[in-house]
Amino acid sequence: MISPISHPQPSDPAARQADFMPILGTDHVELYVSNARQAAHYYQTAFGFQPLAYKGLETGSRELASYVLQQGKIRLVLTSPLRSGTDVGRHIDQHGDGVKVAALWVEDADYAYREAVKRGARPYMEPRVEEDEHGKVVLSGIYTFGEVVHLFVERKDYRGIFLPGYQKWEPAYRPEPVGLKYVDHIVGNVRLGYMNKWVKYYEEVLGFKQILSFDDKDISTEYSALMSKVMSNGNGRIKFPINEPAPGLKKSQVEEYLEFYEGEGVQHLAVATDNIIQTVRALRSRGVEFLQVPGSYYDALEERVGKIDEDMNELRELGILVDRDDEGYLLQIFTRAVQPRPTMFFEIIQRKGATSFGKGNFKALFEALEREQALRGNL
- Quote the CA–CA distance of 351 and 323 in Å, as a whole number: 10
Q: Is 372 in contact with 342 (CB distance < 8 Å)? A: yes
The answer on pLDDT for 3 being more than 80 is no
Domains 13-168 and 180-376 agree in fold:
yes
Give the CATH number of domain 180-376: 3.10.180.10
Rounded to 5°, the CA angle 79-136-76 comes to 25
Q: How far apart are CA 102 and CA 344, in angstroms?
A: 14
Integer-rounded Cα radius of gyration of the chain: 20
Predicted local confidence at residue 71, as pLDDT: 99
Residue 138 neighbours by CB under 8 Å, 6+ apart: 108, 109, 110, 127, 128, 129, 130, 153, 154
Whole-number Å distance between alpha carbons of 327 and 98:
33
Cβ–Cβ under 8 Å, residues 22 and 111: no
- What's the sign of the alpha-carbon dihedral 353, 357, 359, 365? positive
Max distance between CA atoms of the chain, in angstroms, equals 60
User: What would the mean pLDDT of 339-352 be, rounded to a whole number?
Assistant: 97
Indicate the pTM of the whole model. Answer: 0.92
Q: Are 209 and 262 in contact (CB under 8 A)?
A: no
DSSP per position, 273-330: ES-HHHHHHHHHHTT--B----GGGGTTHHHHH---SS-HHHHHHHT-EEEEETTEEE
Classify 72 as helix, strand or coil.
Answer: coil
Mean of pLDDT over the chain: 91
Q: Where are the domains of the chain?
A: 13-168, 180-376
pLDDT reported for residue 10: 44
Work out the angle at residue 219's Cα, subtended by the Cα atoms of residues 295 and 210, and round it to the nearest 5 degrees: 130
CB 270 within 8 A of CB 214: no
Between these two residues, 156 and 378, which has the higher pLDDT value? 156
* pLDDT over 90 (residue 246): no
H or E element, residue 127? strand 123-132
Banded model confidence at residue 219, pLDDT cuts 50, 70, 90 = low
pLDDT band at 216 (very low <50, low <70, confident <90, very high): low
CATH 3.30.43.10, domain 13-168, yes or no: no
Rounded distance between C-alpha atoms, residue 320 and residue 334, angstroms: 9
